[in-house]
Structure 1
């Protein structure tokens, strides 16, 4: 269909763009035979869980911008996520330069500027997609304009190649150091703070924690000050992360199973 590209604002033929990369869906549904194609969609907004084959996508970008998202972000990141035949980043991170270790976390510098920028571009592109349009038809709360204007302007310039880095933006990529036996993908959530916003999402084996805003606090600025790309990699167990426990508790106590999933639960309880 023809329309205005949400990123470059040119009148072009628009691509049916996926919110989260199609390759992630494929990895979860096809790459782990023990789970088959039984992807469970968990909606915190609707407090539900159900099997689904639906993928979140919209006519959002022109072919050039969609190609840039693939070339500069997805192609640099997705080969390193957890897959049945291995988890490349979990192995590669051990060769990165170490910054520090805190409790069960070890923080590392990226291996190169190109590595850092690829992961930053990918994270920013996902955050930008969240706020550029409304995805509520896919079980999420209204997402359009959920990220503040100054950050979205900075994100857009970076994604278009007009700036080397998005201003006032910091990324930590958490890399699971345990076996990834339950592949998962989490759509971005936005937590609002006075001087910044915290945007979090995950793909198999990786959790992206993006901070954006004019005043992220002295602690964040001090932590990222030795790093010119504002990107760190963090090795830790994702199953011990508070966000994982929150999701597990949600599934146990609040989520209502629907459709075939509900029938399976009922059969098990008979």
Structure 2
């Protein structure tokens, strides 16, 4: 028995996953290449290794676990990038381009299935919320309670169906480079040019969350009532991926057999 972090009821808690259990098989290497374990980069500990370790914790009651599964995880499980295909990028590339900038193309997502859009929003906010309330140990906490008490409560009530989205914007950048979909990045928050970025990546989709004053006037002019924007890009050619590559090469100690494979120069990066 314990207190469910979402509904706050006393109940038998489920051993919940931070990243959906179903994602891990898609993060492994191709079967014809040996099906290697996913590469895990731990910024807190400053190391990288190949590991099948799944991040779990007794966090939610059965009812709330089912909420997350029904409203978010089942939806993204139909849309993310795997070795056999990437339904979401195919759908977006068929949508009208509203504008392009520095390798990113912003798409009109009004033709996407409304249930899919709502499910992606729900899933993303559930991951940011889980990272915030997670009982991290040692130096591994990549998120550091970044939502703050106000937005943690607002998102918790949204996930419970008690209120609509508050003053926030979610941006989904969907990768067009099929070679770089088997990738996961745990939620983290960082400040750049006075703006706090909340971000995580999973199987070809980068989720970025902006809260309150961090939403720029330009972003507000582009976002609709659903408070979400969809873009596509070749992740290997973006500043985000090249920044991560530089971080791995300069800040991360590589362990085990991974030493033979890293550091890696990102495709499209300058020499």
Q: For 1:147 and 1:158, how far apart are their aligned partners in 2?
A: 14
Structure 1 spans left out of the alignment, 5+ residues: none
Q: Give runs of aligned pairs for residues 117-156 of structure 1, distance below 5 A.
A: 117-137=118-138, 140-141=140-141, 143=143, 145-156=145-156
Structure 1 residues 201-224: Cα deviation after superposition (integer angstroms, max 9, x where no partner) = 101111111112255232221221
**TM-score normalized with structure 1 length:** 0.87
Deviates further, 154-163 or 242-251: 242-251
State which drifts further: 246-255 or 57-66.
Answer: 246-255
What's the RMSD between the two structures over aligned residues? 2.4
Please state if 1:187 is matched with 2:193: no
Determine helix, strand or coil for the equivalent of 1:115: helix
The alignment status of 1:257 with 2:248, answered yes or no, reads no
Q: Could you tell me how far apart the structure 2 residues matched to 1:49 and 1:155 are?
A: 31
Deviation readout 1:59-107 (Å, 9 max, x if unpaired): 0001111111111111111221111111111111123343322342221
Instruction: State whether residues 48 and 254 of structure 2, in contact with CA within 8 Å, keep that contact through their aligned partners in structure 1.
Output: yes
Equivalent residue, structure 2, for 1:235: 232
Match of 2:219 in 1: 220
1:1-270 superposed matches below 5 A: 2-29=1-28, 33-34=32-33, 36-110=35-109, 111-137=112-138, 140-141=140-141, 143=143, 145-163=145-163, 165-181=164-180, 183-192=182-191, 197-214=196-213, 216-224=215-223, 227-262=224-259, 264=260
- 2:93 and 2:50 map into 1 onto residues whose CA distance is 36
- Taking the aligned partners of 1:144 and 1:251, their CA distance within structure 2 comes to 20
User: Normalising to structure 2: TM-score of the pair?
Assistant: 0.87
| CA-CA distance at 1:33 after TM superposition | 4.1
Judge conservation of contact 2:180–2:235 (CA < 8 Å) in 1. Answer: no
Are the aligned partners of 1:132 and 1:144 in contact in 2 as well (CA < 8 Å)? no
Task: Compare 104-113 and 13-22 and name the one that shifted more.
Answer: 104-113
Q: Deviation per CA, 1:16-64, whole angstroms, max 9, x where unpaired?
A: 0001111111111265542513222111122111121211110000111
* Whole-angstrom distance in 2 between the partners of 1:168 and 1:258: 42
Structure 2 gap segments, 5+ residues each: 263-271
Report the count of equivalent residues: 260
Measure, in 2, the Cα distance between the counterparts of 1:103 and 1:146: 28
Change (3 A) 1:253 1:121: same
Against the structure 1 CA distance between its residues 204 and 223, is the aligned structure 2 distance closer, same or farther, given a 3 Å change threshold? Answer: same
